[in-house]
């Protein structure tokens, strides 16, 4: 069961695509789209990532940060990012700490769930019924920004 709207988003510190340390606190004052997905370079996950890539212009100027999360490691994320020219960071949750904290454990992989975290660190929106092809636009629509 996904975390409820209005609750504090669990803090995290993990490595991103390029081995940089990323924490939720790095984005204080911004809206964070934290989307969990099962596996790099699979059909649905690729559609979902590319929907965010292609919506970059729609997200710019809105103080929104997009972060993808799966249990894949940095090397897998780097290959996925390069293959599809992704323009946002992927977080390597190899120990499943984020997957567990955000209650999206699908038994060894992340369930496809998206959390929108507001500027105060609260969960503002949850999407557990993701349409991978239109997801980036769906998130903006849910926030009233499209």
Tell me whether residue 45 is one of the annotated catalytic residues. yes
Select which of 9, 24, 45, 86 is catalytic.
Answer: 45
**Contact by Cβ (8 Å): 125, 5:** yes
CB atoms within 10 A of CB 16: 20
Among the listed residues 37, 3, 10, the one whose alpha carbon sits nearest the alpha carbon of residue 113: 37
Angle (CA) 133-72-93 rounded to 5° is 100
- The DSSP 8-state label assigned to residue 94 in this structure reads T
Active-site annotation, residues: 45
């Amino acid at each position: 069961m996904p975390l409820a709207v209005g609750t504090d988003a669990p803090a995290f510190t993990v490595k991103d695509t390029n081995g940089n340390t990323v924490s939720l606190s790095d984005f204080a004052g911004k809206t964070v789209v934290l989307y969990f997905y099962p596996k790099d370079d699979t059909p649905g996950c690729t559609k979902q990532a590319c929907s965010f890539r292609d919506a970059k212009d729609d997200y710019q100027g809105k103080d929104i940060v997009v972060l993808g999360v799966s249990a894949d490691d940095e090397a897998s994320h780097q290959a996925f990012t390069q293959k599809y020219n992704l323009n946002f960071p992927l977080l390597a949750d190899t120990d499943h700490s984020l997957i567990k904290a955000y209650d999206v454990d699908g038994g060894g992989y992340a369930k496809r769930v998206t959390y929108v975290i507001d500027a105060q660190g609260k969960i503002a929106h949850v999407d557990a019924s993701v349409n991978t092809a239109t997801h980036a636009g769906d998130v903006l629509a849910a926030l009233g920004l499209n």
